[in-house]
């Protein structure tokens, strides 16, 4: 499968115009959604753009997708830049397609704003995306609001799920907070490292090792791969985790060696989840996490762009007349009345 990285994207993409025609948006979305469900990738691409942009159309997409989502297996692939995640993602996607899965790849890059310097944002994998039955591929870069990106990625996953993809691979570029947030909502998380402890130590710092369902030591054609595997196994021994024990796979993503075995681990983990966790539990866990994030985002917005009354509260705190905890408590009452909550605007002003 070819991975093509084109040059820089159109620089300084203007922010999308506000979509005022809220009345017509749902119809528009409804028609596109039906087309996307019938396999129209262009329609799906447009819906994903709405999702990224936020606002009324994004909400309409979410409303259409929500009841139909839940069937897909969401596979997160994370690890430090350069360990071979994109190459590995392509390999895994191919193995899954050959096995009869309908696969979508969502490449999320919080580190790269749409304006220049994009690593994944400018990625166009024409090779795979153009093949009928091949994986659907989409990149998402940050629009400057990382909290918004994690939420947009979740919404995108749900849309891909609702439009008939049964394996959604979410690949993140690095090991920052957004990656951790995204990995947390995957059903199965693969943490990729390469030989040499450097990457593993970085991943450990970011708390990624704890969330691994499967480890993969990629670049197994290089010296030190079996040592890295042994060290990971040792770490797992010390961890004494109950339940699922993450397997440690070795791959050479550039040749595809080990990819089938890795995908087998994914399927084993999926079976494990089915046996040990009810569908209801799974959905409930995801929903709670997502609602928490929306709340978080609203709170951030409220603090960053305080309403008149919020600003007044801050002033009172600054003047020593009100305790911060009390101000927070009063602000919590404001969230529900925030216009963002009522109008369906994403509240980020964009």
Q: Contact positions toward ligand GDP, by CB under 6 A?
A: 81-87, 218-219, 221-222, 252-254
Sign of the CA dihedral 69, 75, 81, 85? negative
Give 64 or 170: the residue with its C-beta nearer to ligand GDP. 170
**Strand residues in the chain grouped as ranges (E):** 73-78, 103-113, 136-142, 167-172, 188-193, 214-217, 248-250
- Taking each helix axis from N to C end, the angle separating 146-162 and 56-65, rounded to the nearest 10 degrees, works out to 40
Q: Supply the minimum distance, in Å, between the C-beta of residue 154 and ligand GDP.
A: 21
Give 82 or 116: the residue with its C-beta nearer to ligand GDP. 82
8 Å CB contact between 266 and 75: yes
245 closest CA partner among 227, 226, 268, 261: 268
Give 221 or 316: the residue with its C-beta nearer to ligand GDP. 221
Cβ neighbour number for residue 207 with a 10 Å cutoff: 13
Task: Give φ, ψ of 169 to 5 degrees.
Answer: -100, 120
Give 159 or 253: the residue with its C-beta nearer to ligand GDP. 253
Which residues on adjacent β-strands are paired with residue 217?
A: 193, 250
Give 223 or 304: the residue with its C-beta nearer to ligand GDP. 223
Give 81-105 as a DSSP string: TTSSHHHHHHHHHHHHHHTT--EEE
Q: Supply the minimum distance, in Å, between the C-beta of residue 17 and ligand GDP.
A: 33
Q: Supply the minimum distance, in Å, between the C-beta of residue 246 and ligand GDP.
A: 19
Q: Supply the minimum distance, in Å, between the C-beta of residue 87 and ligand GDP.
A: 4
State which residue has the least CB distance to ligand GDP. 84
Find the radius of gyration of the CA atoms of the chain: 21
How many residues are recorded in the chain?
350
- CA separation for the pair 257, 91 (Å, rounded): 9
Q: Supply the minimum distance, in Å, between the C-beta of residue 194 and ligand GDP.
A: 8
Give 221-274 as a DSSP string: TSTTHHHHHHHHHHHHHHHT--SPPPPEEE-BTTTTBTHHHHHHHHHHHHHHHH
Cβ neighbour number for residue 231 with a 10 Å cutoff: 16
Q: Supply the minimum distance, in Å, between the C-beta of residue 28 and ligand GDP.
A: 35
Q: Supply the minimum distance, in Å, between the C-beta of residue 133 and ligand GDP.
A: 23
Q: Supply the minimum distance, in Å, between the C-beta of residue 326 and ligand GDP.
A: 47
Give 158 or 219: the residue with its C-beta nearer to ligand GDP. 219
């Amino acid at each position: 499968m070819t991975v093509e990285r084109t040059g820089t994207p159109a620089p300084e993409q203007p922010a999308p115009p506000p979509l005022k025609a809220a009345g017509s948006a749902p119809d528009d979305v409804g028609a596109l959604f039906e087309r996307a469900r019938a396999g129209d990738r262009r329609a799906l691409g447009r819906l994903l753009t709405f999702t990224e942009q936020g606002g009324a159309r994004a909400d309409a997409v979410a409303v259409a997708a929500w009841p139909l989502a839940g069937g897909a297996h969401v596979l997160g692939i994370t690890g430090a830049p350069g360990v071979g995640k994109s190459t590995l993602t392509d390999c895994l996607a191919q193995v899954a397609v050959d096995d009869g899965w309908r696969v979508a790849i969502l490449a999320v890059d919080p580190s790269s704003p749409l304006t220049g310097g994009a690593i994944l944002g400018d990625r166009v994998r024409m090779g795979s995306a153009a093949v009928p039955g091949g994986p659907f591929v989409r990149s998402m870069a940050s629009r400057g609001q990382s909290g918004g990106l994690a939420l947009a990625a979740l919404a995108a996953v749900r849309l891909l799920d609702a439009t008939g993809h049964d394996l959604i691979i979410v690949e993140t570029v690095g090991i920052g907070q957004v990656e951790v947030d995204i990995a947390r909502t995957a059903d199965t998380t693969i943490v990729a490292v390469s030989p040499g402890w450097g990457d593993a130590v970085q991943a450990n710092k970011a708390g990624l090792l704890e969330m691994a369902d499967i480890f993969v030591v990629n670049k197994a054609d290089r010296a030190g791969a079996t040592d890295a595997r042994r060290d990971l196994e040792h770490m797992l021994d010390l961890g004494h985790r109950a339940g699922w024990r993450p397997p440690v796979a070795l791959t050479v993503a550039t040749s595809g060696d080990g990819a089938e075995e890795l995908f087998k681990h994914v399927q084993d983990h999926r079976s494990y989840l089915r046996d040990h966790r009810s569908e209801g539990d799974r959905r409930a866990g995801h929903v709670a996490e997502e609602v928490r994030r929306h709340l978080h985002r609203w709170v951030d917005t409220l603090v960053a762009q305080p309403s008149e009354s919020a600003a007044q509260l801050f002033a009172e705190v600054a003047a020593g007349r009100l305790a911060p905890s009390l101000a927070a408590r009063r602000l919590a009452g404001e969230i529900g009345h925030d216009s963002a909550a009522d109008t369906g605007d994403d509240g980020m002003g964009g």
